[in-house]
Amino acid sequence: MNVVLDDRLLIEELLVGIRRPDVQLHTTAYWYYRACRAAVLGAGGHLSGPFRELRSLDQQRAIGAMLQLPERIGLPSTRQLVPLMVEIVERHPKLNLLNLEAVAAARVLAATIWLSPEAASGALPAVLDVELLAWEVVTPT
């Protein structure tokens, strides 16, 4: 089963691990960027919070892990996603770039999107439902 992780769950996977058997993990470029930005720059929000809780050496290792996405986490090609994003935005003209990319990634990978509770409270779930794409809420530890 293919799964697309949102930014918060990507951080969870890299810091703690949320792997389940028979699941191939992926993320999007935008979610990966936001996770890296939170790791490196921090801001005190729900994305950078897990990094603040680490000891200094562990924090440096975690940031290094974020900046070198492991091969075990897939990252769909922009060449595949952009044409789908254009198609999707015709049906959902108010959808932002982050959500457009997520919907396209779910489609191209035939994946379920795992959303953190914060992400699940936004606009994305309703669009995924309309597009008949699977999603579920996964609460980080």
pLDDT given at position 51: 62
Confidence of residue 61 (pLDDT cuts 50, 70, 90): confident
Q: How confident is the model over 132-140, as a mean pLDDT?
A: 95
**Which range among 16-25, 70-79, 114-123 shows the weakest confidence by mean pLDDT?**
16-25
Residue bearing the bigger pLDDT, 65 or 46: 65
The mean pLDDT value for 95-116 works out to 97
Residue 90: band (very low, low, confident or very high) from pLDDT cuts 50, 70, 90: very high
Please state the three-class secondary structure of the chain as a single string. CEEEECHHHHHHHHHCCCCCCCCEEECCHHHHHHHHHHHHHCCCCCCCHHHHCCCHHHHHHHHHHHHCCCCCEECCCHHHHHHHHHHHHHHCCCCCHHHHHHHHHHHHHCCEEEECHHHHCCCHHHHHHHCCCCEEECCCC
pLDDT at residue 119, rounded to an integer = 93
Domains defined along the chain, listed by start: 2-137 (3.40.50.1010)
